[in-house]
Amino acid sequence: MTAADGLSVADLAVTFRTERGDVPAVRGVSFDLEPGAGTAILGESGSGKSATARALLGLVDPPAQVTGSIRFEGTELIGKSETELDAVRGRGLAMVFQDSLDSLNPVFSIGSQLTEILRARLGRSRAVARAAAVELLDAVGITDPAARIHDYPHQFSGGMRQRVCIAWRSRSNRGCSSPTNPRPPWTSPCRRGSCACCGGCSGSGGMSLLFVTHDLAVARLVADSVIVMHRGRIVEQGVLEDVFRAPRHPYTRGLLDAHPARATRWQDLRPMRADLEDGQAGVLQ
């Protein structure tokens, strides 16, 4: 893949400045996201997953510093002004946040918000945008969408709101790059619906998906490749099933061993190794 084809990240670093000194949250991260591909970023909390995703859209605020290269369709995004980034956000790159209420305005109906984005991004008339909004709700499994379009975000379950946000980003724009994992438990139908929306995003019209999660089972549903992060670095990447079947890096093995699905009793669970040093963080692929 060339940078002109999609998203190319090279030597990305995100450093947060604190009273106690600089904290490197992302260190030398490089990867390509091909059109139509689905990639999951895995790692425990604090591994740098979310900081990486936010940096892609220029959502890391000062005094944090972002360096390296983020090229989307041949254009360098690092160093762009807010006005220049707005031309890319939503139209080419979009993010669905973990908490769907962060993306939906509580004082406007779901229909009015979907209609507004369709009119603003795609230039649809009010009538056409409203009909498309009803179709969108139906496509993500909302029962009686013609009536529910008048409801407000608080009248939808968390899983329903998540599905609306995912479909909103992926179907009303040209791409969806960074959805994060939904909150309901894995057994919840809401979560399965959210994952189905994410899976449908990648591959549709050349759209790509970068799925940030610490849930190994969910990653299998939506991605065909995986990036494993530890202490701000990529320690392993490759085809998802290959990595899951035969992990090569000690951290990846620890991550998999710590998953409850691999244990028949609690004594089988192994704690994550805390002694992995930076010297062991060479990328395996």
- Kindly report the number of other CB atoms within 10 A of residue 117's CB atom: 17
Q: Is the pLDDT of residue 105 over 70?
A: yes
Q: Is the pLDDT of residue 8 over 90?
A: yes
Distances (CA, A) of 83 to 16, 62, 80: 24, 17, 8
The mean pLDDT of 256-282, rounded to a whole number, is 64
Residue 45 — very low, low, confident or very high, per pLDDT cuts 50/70/90?
confident
Global pTM exceeds 0.95 = no
157-201 pLDDT per residue, tens = 887 887 787 766 655 554 344 344 333 222 233 344 445 455 555
Q: Which class is 3-94+173-280 in CATH?
A: alpha beta
**What is 4-26 written as a DSSP string?**
GGSEEEEEEEEEEEETTEEEEEE
128-167 pLDDT per residue, tens = 989 988 988 887 788 899 999 999 998 988 878 877 877 6
